[in-house]
Amino acid sequence: MRLATTLPPDTALSDVPAAVRRVERLGFDTVHVPETVHDSLSVALLALEHSSRVRVRVRMTLAFPRSPMVVAYAAWDLARFSGGRFQLGLATQVRGNIVGRFSMPWSNPAAQLTDYVRALRAIFATFSRGGPLRYEGTHYRFDRLQPYFNPGPLDVPEPEIFTGGVNRLMCELAGAEADGLVTHPTNSHPRFLRGSVLPWLAAGVATAQRVSRPVLVVGAKAISAPDARSLREALAGARREMAFLYSTPAYRPTLALLGHEDLGERLTQLIRDQQWDALPAALPDDVLAGIVPVGTYDEFPAVIGDWYGGLCDELSITTPADTSADDRFASMLEVVRAVPAAPDGLALAQAASPAPPSG
């Protein structure tokens, strides 16, 4: 199984070089660049400049605040600069952020992101072959790209496009249009993957009559630590993030599946009441340990095998902030890497006969 990790969202630009070099030393295959308080494409450029082996995937660049042409130029440059190590991840975000934080319109997000990906591919094709750009979709129309503005073909493959998704329409979109799907921390539980994500992904594959499925990257909040004490500390840090995420109604399906629907409503009410500091305490230890995979370095490979063995192609694992046990952490990652990845036919098999819930 391939392994990914995510740069902390608040990593200062000056700290990105050291952070990505550490990711390479630890042996990860991919580093995810989030988009929360920084521009993801700018951080990706820094990460690519200061690494030599690891793939850099933005997870996820917000599509709707940007024109597809703007993103196409950036992705093309990053692919050329890195020798093909850049992967473009795109997501919609939720309506409140697109409208309230970015002052952009919101209509049908699944249809718009589908059109966005198709527009990007049309632009990429024109960058490669030259000639006129002609694309007209449901949300985007492009009919002008003079030779002066065309960056020309790459000598590496064009950037792969990954999409993020939590619910049915976005997972079907990935199955039909994307090179890969990256799940959200809130829909990465194995029961939700087996019962929902994989059948939805397969439905998209079937609709588009694709011959192979997209890569499945599980973006779990997978947490490990050297010992029980440091694991408790790591969980305390994760609790605030997961409580905030599950306060968003669109991210609640896993809580409902696991019998914690009331918890989701309680977290949402705390946000409405602006009680941000009360969020972590509202997510109990036993619930948190049941929705994210956790374990000491000795336990963690077996936990991952139980949760995700044969279920995905790549798994995201949280890198500890403390570097003092990096040698042990790297050794543990090598054991996790031996966990079997998903077989090529998994998505279609899941659609035909969903596996029983487990884990």
Name the DSSP class of 318: P
Whole-number pLDDT of residue 252: 87
Report the amino acid identity of residue 294: V
Burial class for 180, CB neighbours closer than 10 Å (0-12, 13-18, 19+): buried
- The predicted model gives 277-305 an average pLDDT of 92
| Element containing residue 335 per DSSP (H, E) | helix 326-337
Predicted confidence band of residue 346 (pLDDT cuts 50, 70, 90): low
- The predicted model gives 341-350 an average pLDDT of 65
> pLDDT tens digit string along 11-66?
999 999 999 999 999 999 999 999 999 999 999 999 999 999 999 999 999 999 99
- Please state, in angstroms and rounded to a whole number, the distance separating the CA atoms of residues 308 and 316: 11
In whole numbers, what is the pLDDT of the chain averaged over residues?
Answer: 92
Whole-number pLDDT of residue 354: 41
222: pLDDT strictly greater than 80: yes
Whole-number pLDDT of residue 351: 45
345: pLDDT strictly greater than 90: no
7: pLDDT strictly greater than 60: yes
Instruction: Choose among 26, 21, 13, 89: nearest CA to 317.
Output: 26
- The predicted model gives 164-191 an average pLDDT of 94
> pLDDT tens digit string along 103-155?
999 999 999 999 999 999 999 999 999 999 999 999 999 999 999 999 999 99
The domain segmentation of the chain, as residue ranges, is: 219-352
List Cα–Cα distances, 48 to 76, 79, 201, 291, 356, in angstroms.
13, 10, 30, 33, 41
Mention every residue, 6+ apart, whose C-beta is less than 8 A from residue 299: none
Whole-number pLDDT of residue 284: 87
- Please state, in angstroms and rounded to a whole number, the distance separating the CA atoms of residues 303 and 288: 15
What percentage of residues in the chain have a pLDDT greater than 90?
78
Higher model confidence: residue 255 or residue 29? 29
Angle at 146 between CA 144 and CA 152, to 5 degrees: 115
